[in-house]
């Protein structure tokens, strides 16, 4: 967290976000002018991240992967989302989802705002399995090696 953003990111909880105000803030900051994009992590928890991003035309996220399933929601503008040999053009309220670890890229076709969700799946639902998974992720002893992602 930076001094200019002391309120971010929040752990997951009941919280209301004024996305219009956050977008106005992002669009006024230097990184957008200097690099063609800016972002704000709204929520960061062990298994969930929610990221608000603004992009200028022609800029985006080069090909990469995410550790968990993702969704990308276009709030305004238009973007091209490419993955697995497909190129999808998305406009306002367009939504795309993708499984974990699948290469993808996003490019703004016009000035755009997107909301990105990254979820790291829980693979065990019983208390013992959840505790093993927590230990494994934190590097503590007692995590079963066959649970490694």
Q: What is the pLDDT along the chain (149 residues), one digit of tens a residue?
A: 344 554 566 677 788 899 999 999 999 999 999 999 999 999 988 889 999 999 999 999 999 999 999 999 999 999 999 999 999 999 999 999 999 999 999 999 999 999 999 998 666 555 555 566 666 667 665 544 443 33
pTM: 0.76
68 vs 88: CA distance, rounded Å: 20
For residues 28 and 20, the answer to whether their CB atoms sit within 8 Å is no
95 vs 112: CA distance, rounded Å: 14
56 vs 53: CA distance, rounded Å: 10
43 vs 40: CA distance, rounded Å: 9
Could you give all domains of the chain from N- to C-terminal order, each with its CATH number?
A: 19-147 (2.60.120.10)
Q: How far apart are the first and last CA of the chain?
A: 28
């Amino acid at each position: 967290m930076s001094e200019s953003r002391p309120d971010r990111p929040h752990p997951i909880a009941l919280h209301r976000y004024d996305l219009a105000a956050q977008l106005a803030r992002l669009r006024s900051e230097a990184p957008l002018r200097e690099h063609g994009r800016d972002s704000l992590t709204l929520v960061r928890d062990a298994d969930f991240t929610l990221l608000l991003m603004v992009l200028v035309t022609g800029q985006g996220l080069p090909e990469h992967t995410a550790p968990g399933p993702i969704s990308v929601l276009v709030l305004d503008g238009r973007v091209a989302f490419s993955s697995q040999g497909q190129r999808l053009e998305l406009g306002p309220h367009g939504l795309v989802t993708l499984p974990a670890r699948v290469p993808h890229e996003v490019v703004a076709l016009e000035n755009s705002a997107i909301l990105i969700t990254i979820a790291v799946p829980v693979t065990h639902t019983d208390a013992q399995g959840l505790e093993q998974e927590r230990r494994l992720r934190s590097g503590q002893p007692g995590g079963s090696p066959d649970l490694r992602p």
